[in-house]
Amino acid sequence: MPDKTMSAEFNVTPQKVDAVVVGAGFAGLYMLYLLRDKLKLNVVALEAADGVGGVWYWNRYPGARCDIAAAHYSYSFSKELEQEWVWPEKYPDQPTILKYLEHVADRFDLTRDIQFDTRVEIAEFDDKEQRWLVTTKKGDQYSAQYFVPAVGILSDPKIPQIKGHENFKGGSCFSGRWPKEGVDFAGKNVGIIGTGATAVQAIPVIAETAAHLTVFQRTPYFAVPLQNKVMTEAEDKRMKASYAKIRKHDRESVGGMTLSEARPSAMADTPEQRKAHYEQRYKEGTFNLWVASYDDLIYDRESNETAAEFVRSKIRERVTDPEIAELLCPPKGITFGTKRQPCETGYFEAYNRDNVTLVDLNQTPIEEIVSEGMRTSDQTHELDYLIFATGYDAFTGSYLKMNITGRNGLALKDHWSNGPRSYFGLSVTGFPNMFIITGPQSPSAFYNFPLGIERHCDWIADCIVHTNGRGMAAVDVEQKREEEWVAKVTAIAEETLFPQASSWYMGDNIPGKPRAFAIYLGDGQVFYEMIEREAADKYPSYNFVPKGGEKTGTEASARVKT
């Protein structure tokens, strides 16, 4: 971290802007567009990478692909953009989504206001000036009225510290920091740690080119087919003609995308009815089995076990060696869908290949990385390349890395010491004029991200218009409102099986991280109605500070309702 006193030497006067946006992924690009082109503010976006794309910039691993259909997983704010862009597949791959975001950046001339290769190191609220002072790793400083981290919930890599890593003579990388030039696996012995959503996509693709692929599995996952397909010209035309209907339906749906309809209870159906229903949802692919088969799967262990057993039966059908099939089946006690359901294409068939080996780390744990590969308790697996598909410090990691301090020197890491807290995943008490996008306690990972992002950004832009329009310097959410909202989100989650499972949703993948379920599990449509009501009622949960308010009066008397 740069020394704050030193950083003044790099740039004596901070550059004054209306807003700093951090990140140039789906959220950062749209936020920049809205604030600059619709609100006519002076905005800079700071991006650590050398290009736009966010997670779609970093996740270049083989097989990376979106598991929400492009008809939903795309911007809806521009009809022209919808009509001109061609999605070649139903579920687009990473290169296509990256090209799309690059196209968006060019089309709306966003790149000129993005500082690339620029990582935010410190962001602090200046109580006297009612402005944010943002310092980058290079030492540049920006003074901004508004600070909008658009950093996503899964962008802080978690690479386990394994003894001996420094001795490995082969190559290695983290899945979400894939080398831009790619990696040629031809003739190589490759190892991969992890079997989550990332690895499940990468494994079948890498197996096709590597001489040998060794998968180090700690926990088997309930992976379900994606059912991707190439889009024909006729389908593309139909999609383009239906966008208005698709978007309307998405906005009115629970998760911001169109899925099949769930039945109320698995236990209310006969075993035959259940099987037929699960078969249908499995065939439909993506998240249909998970969220659109039975409503009670996430509440009721007995119901959940019927879906779990159905997926196990599919794994046993698809994997020819029964012993390997058993290792790939999550055992009883692991509930279906309480860890994120990976969507796969040929994942289980990859284990039928002669060049793929599955290592069960529960039987033979990792001991250390040695110069020639990975030593587990029973043998050394020779490797030329090792991939860490080991996940992220979700929800909080990328925010805390920016060393954010709010009013009266309150550090975000202290405010979040028992888990992340926010109002609607938009505002954090004590951090005035800071807006987060699809943050913790919003529907976030349980809602179609591009649509959730647009709805959050639209709300933020409206709130800024309101604040500026009334001549206010700052806007901050009341503590009581944040407390009530966090309690509500937690109470909804407590009703479900999620807190009983071990997952990144709960922070379990990061040693020492406080357990908290930070996703609003209620109906997404209801959520967005709530935030829209907050705006329509002129932000009753917020306090506003008039310009000069903090300088002239006590904090309490200076804050007003507008």
Count, residues near ligand NAP per rule CB under 6 A: 25
**Tokens for 163?**
């003894």
66 binds ligand NAP (CB under 6 A): yes
311 binds ligand NAP (CB under 6 A): no
199 binds ligand NAP (CB under 6 A): yes
Between residues 4 and 218, which has the closer beta carbon with respect to ligand NAP? 218
Angle of helix 233-252 relative to helix 449-469, nearest 10 degrees?
A: 50
In the bound complex, what is the minimum distance in angstroms from residue 514's beta carbon to ligand NAP?
17
Work out which of 67, 82, 393, 454 binds ligand NAP, going by CB under 6 A.
67
Q: How many CB atoms lie within 10 A of CB 355?
A: 15
427 in Cβ contact with 435 (< 8 Å): yes
- Residue 534 and residue 178: Cα distance in Å, rounded? 41
In the bound complex, what is the minimum distance in angstroms from residue 218's beta carbon to ligand NAP?
4
In the bound complex, what is the minimum distance in angstroms from residue 197's beta carbon to ligand NAP?
4
In the bound complex, what is the minimum distance in angstroms from residue 507's beta carbon to ligand NAP?
11
End-to-end Cα spacing for the chain: 39
96 binds ligand NAP (CB under 6 A): no
In the bound complex, what is the minimum distance in angstroms from residue 203's beta carbon to ligand NAP?
11
The DSSP element (H or E) to which 206 belongs, if any, is helix 197-209
Work out which of 198, 338, 433, 467 binds ligand NAP, going by CB under 6 A.
198
30 in Cβ contact with 457 (< 8 Å): yes
Between residues 173 and 410, which has the closer beta carbon with respect to ligand NAP? 173
In the bound complex, what is the minimum distance in angstroms from residue 442's beta carbon to ligand NAP?
15
286 binds ligand NAP (CB under 6 A): no
- Residue 334 and residue 171: Cα distance in Å, rounded? 34
Q: What residues contact residue 537 under an 8 Å CB cut-off, 6+ apart?
A: none
432 binds ligand NAP (CB under 6 A): no
In the bound complex, what is the minimum distance in angstroms from residue 73's beta carbon to ligand NAP?
8
Q: Give 376-443 as a DSSP string.
A: ESS-EEE-SEEEE---B-TTTHHHHTT-EE-GGG-BHHHHTTTS---BTTTB-TT-TTB--SS-TTBS
Between residues 194 and 432, which has the closer beta carbon with respect to ligand NAP? 194
- Residue 43 and residue 394: Cα distance in Å, rounded? 27
196 binds ligand NAP (CB under 6 A): yes
Using alpha carbons, select from 265, 263, 260, 302 the residue that is nearest to residue 282: 260
Q: SS3 sequence, 529-562?
A: HHHHHHHHCCCCCEEEEECCHHHHCCHHHHCECC
Contacting ligand NAP within 492-511 (CB under 6 A) = 504, 509
In the bound complex, what is the minimum distance in angstroms from residue 560's beta carbon to ligand NAP?
41
Between residues 143 and 172, which has the closer beta carbon with respect to ligand NAP? 172
Q: Which stretch binds ligand NAP (CB under 6 A): 325-333, 387-395, 515-523, 536-544?
A: 387-395
- CA 470, chain centre distance (Å): 34
214 binds ligand NAP (CB under 6 A): no
361 binds ligand NAP (CB under 6 A): yes
Work out which of 53, 194, 419, 507 binds ligand NAP, going by CB under 6 A.
194
- Residue 341 and residue 224: Cα distance in Å, rounded? 7
Q: Pairing between strand 356-360 and 343-344?
A: unpaired
In the bound complex, what is the minimum distance in angstroms from residue 139's beta carbon to ligand NAP?
32
User: At 100, which amino acid appears?
Assistant: Y
141 binds ligand NAP (CB under 6 A): no
Site for ligand NAP, rule CB under 6 A: 65-67, 154, 160, 175, 193-199, 201, 218-219, 340, 361, 389-392, 445, 504, 509
